[in-house]
Amino acid sequence: MIKEQPRYILGYLLGIGLFYVAIPWGLVGLHALAEPLFQFPLLPVELLRWALVAILLFFGLGFAAWSNIALRVTGKGGPADGFDVAVSPRTQKLVTSGPYKFTRNPMAFGTFLCYFALGLALDSAAVVLFLAVMLPVAIVYIGHFEETRLARDFGEEFREYRKRVPLFFPWFPKC
């Protein structure tokens, strides 16, 4: 069995490699392929476009990093878990504080903000349209696979948390 510390490192490396290297490069490739079909600016004011890119990146990277820290510190686990396969150790405690107070999936929410920022930075309608189509697919995946596992692992505590906090898009917590 792989020891715990190397599993954390492997989980973070796989997560960063997939979500912050491979997928963004795929989006850049999509933009390059589709650019001849979508030759119009997303926002006519360049300064506004770059301001929006900066805001999306700030909040996106912030949510993603904050959620990783919360999982490790509060939940005593790592983020690399997909299709019910855990690469890094799974959280031992349900995390409901920090960014998890606003959305049950701050890491995915933050990552999608970064992808939309990339689409805007590229001024690519194709990338933004693709992400708009993929977002519901990601939400369905999260709702099915991740939520099922969390309900199994944390039972009633998770079901109560699910009633208070939205699945994906952050909102102020219900009292």
More confident residue, 171 or 53: 53
Which pLDDT does position 1 carry in this prediction?
46
Least confident of 3-12, 45-54, 158-167: 3-12
Is pLDDT of 144 > 50?
yes
What are the two backbone dihedrals, phi and then psi, of residue 85, each rounded to the nearest 5 degrees?
Answer: -115, 120
Look up residue 155 and give its amino acid. Answer: G
Which pLDDT does position 80 carry in this prediction?
63
More confident residue, 85 or 167: 167
Question: How does pLDDT run across 18-64, given as a tens digit for each residue?
Answer: 899 999 999 999 999 998 898 888 988 999 999 999 999 999 999 99
More confident residue, 19 or 82: 19
Model pTM score? 0.89
Q: Checking DSSP bridges between strand 81-82 and strand 85-86, what pairing results, if any?
A: antiparallel
Tally of residues, the chain: 175
Question: How does pLDDT run across 84-127, given as a tens digit for each residue?
Answer: 666 677 788 999 999 999 999 999 999 999 999 999 999 999 99
Beta pairing partners, 82? 85
Q: Which domains does the chain have, with CATH numbers?
A: 4-164 (1.20.120.1630)
Token reading at 21: 């290297």
